[in-house]
Structure 1
Amino acid sequence: MHQLPIFLNLAGRTVVLVGEGEAADAKARLIARAGGRIVPQWEDGAAIAFVALDEGAEEAAAELRARGLLVNVVDRPDLCDFTTPAIVDRAPVTIAVGTGGASAGLAKAVRQRIEALLPATLGNLATALFAARGAMKARWPDAAARRRAIDAALAPGGALDPVAGPDEGAVAAWLAADHVAAPARLEMIALASDDPDDLTLRAARLLGEADHIFHPAATPPAILARARADAVRHVTETPPADPPPGLSLWLAPAITRS
């Protein structure tokens, strides 16, 4: 990962925008959508800065950076402290696609593919899940059990499959339904190599879903990075005889051929 993706709350905050023209107008629209207040030069309390200049961009960026601001320079990734991604807006769901400034066209193409997949009602589902947090905690007091129930509901074909566009009453109906706890499940991923690009689609999907990852100490960090950030890692040379609740994975090491 070349950059840390974050979502910044700009509502009511001051954002410096230096420059004029189409590029500056595009950044202004982006800032306005996020609720930021735009000023043309540094002010005390400013959060971040954008520079959209054909000439003098490096000097303007250096001056703003000296004021303690993180700076984005349009079309100059080498001068940027941060870049702005292509955005899929299903408020309150926001999906950002970035390339670290390598190719805005590629980010746009990926965004368009995602746009076509996600229904316009996705934001309504997020709002309903937020409103049901108390009810979900009451239904599943154990945090791990609650997460597994939510994961199952949001999985492809699940009661709340986000791509299927569940209706307004779907969350309430899901909470009211009978639920049978899924048994502990252990899956093996036989690594073809130490390169994460060699992972099969099945392996990549399981890594994104697993609650526990069992793996030898020599497993490459690049492979482990494909797993959920909150999945529990267990360093072991053998798969577990009695896996914990939820989905566990055993990462069988790649066979080295001489």
Structure 2
Amino acid sequence: MHSLPVFLRLTGRPVILTGDGEAADAKRRLLERAGAVIVGEDDPQARIAIVSDGDVATATRLRARGVLVNATDNPGLCDFTLPAIVDRDPVLIAIGTGGASAGLAKALRQRLEVLFPARLGALADALFAARGAIKARWADAGARRRGIDAGLAPGGMIDPLCADAADGLAGWLAAEGQAERSRLVAIPLLSGDPDDLTLRAARLLGEADRVYHPASVPAVILDRARADAARIVTDAPPDDPGEGLSLWVTLDGAIA
């Protein structure tokens, strides 16, 4: 991973913007949407800058002051890059290529735009407002996560790709059997290349509470699991895998 994706809260914060023309205008609109206070290069309080014309001298001066810089079309002088954005406020989906190709990021954004309903943000707001009720429904943190996963799963009562998912929140909270039962699922890998993962395997890796695996399974596969999922090296599947979803991932006869 070449960069750490983060979302910066810029409301009321000064951000330097330099350069003129269409590129500067586009960056200005983006910063204004984020609530930033746009300032000039000499502002001593600013810690972030966008050099819209990619000017080397300007970017170099700002970086020497400790300012984090994005220099358009000059990735060697960029401390951060600006992603293509799918905006379903408060849901934001960012697509970045590390400055390799803005065109590719744009093309991916256009594909994703048609997938996510206009009311996706309403579902996020409804889930935020229901935090207390969700904790009351599932007091145990593990059960709560599994209940949420089941509701948000494809075809679930609050499937985020359904246009009316926000309207189903009350019914989801009241329904029985939302949390998926504890189980162990075997995933024999086709190869050590994550591009060869089946859609099912990729989905299960993203949902699992723990991943049991021999040492031969490469890290690039394990990286596809949830960040907080336990990774447990073992030569055989466990007799008692634990609560929730556990995976037994093997690399049989494949080149790691």
- Common topology (TM > 0.5): yes
Displacement of 1:154? 0.3
Aligned residue number for residue 178 of structure 1: 176
- Once the two structures are superposed, what CA deviation does each residue of 1:10-37 show, in whole Å capped at 9, x if it has no partner? 0000000011111111111111000000
Identity fraction in percent: 62
TM-score, L = length of structure 1 = 0.94
Q: Indicate the residue corresponding to 1:245 in structure 2.
A: 243
Q: Please give the secondary structure, in 2, of the residue aligned with 1:152.
A: helix
Match of 2:67 in 1: 69
What one-letter code is carried by the residue in structure 2 that aligns with 1:140? W
Contact 2:68 2:80 in 1 (8 A): yes
Partner of 1:129: 127
Over the aligned positions, Cα root-mean-square deviation in angstroms equals 1.4
The yes-or-no answer on 1:142 pairing with 2:126 is: no
Counterpart of 1:71 in 2: which secondary structure? strand
- 1:256 and 1:124, CA in 2 relative to 1: closer, same or farther beyond 3 A? closer
Counterpart of 1:212, as a letter, is: R
Secondary structure of residue in 2 paired with 1:102 = coil
Distance across 1 between alignment mates of 2:51 and 2:150: 45
SS at match of 1:208: helix
Q: Is the partner of 2:190 in helix, strand or coil?
A: coil
Name the structure 2 match of 1:30: 30
Q: What TM-score does the superposition give when structure 2 sets the normalisation length?
A: 0.95
Which residue, 56, 59, 69 being the options, matches 1:58? 56
Cα deviation code 1:147-191 (max 9, x no counterpart):
000000000000000101225432122112223543211111112
Find the aligned partners of 2:240 and 2:104 in 1 and give their Cα distance. Answer: 45
Structure 2: which amino acid aligns with 1:41?
Answer: E
Q: Which runs of 5+ in 1 are unaligned?
A: none
Q: What pairs up with 1:228-239 in 2 under 5 angstroms?
A: 228-239=226-237
Distance in 2 between residues matched to 1:10 and 1:181, nearest whole Å: 38
CA deviation string 1:40-59 (max 9, x = no partner) = 213222131000226xx111
Contact 2:192 2:254 in 1 (8 A): no
Please list the CA deviations of residues 98-136 of structure 1 after superposition, one character each: whole Å capped at 9, or x if unmatched. 111111111111111111011100000000000000111
* C-alpha distance 210-67 of structure 1, shift in aligned 2 (>3 A): same
Partner of 1:192: 190
Contact kept, 8 Å, 1:17 with 1:38, in 2: the verdict is: yes
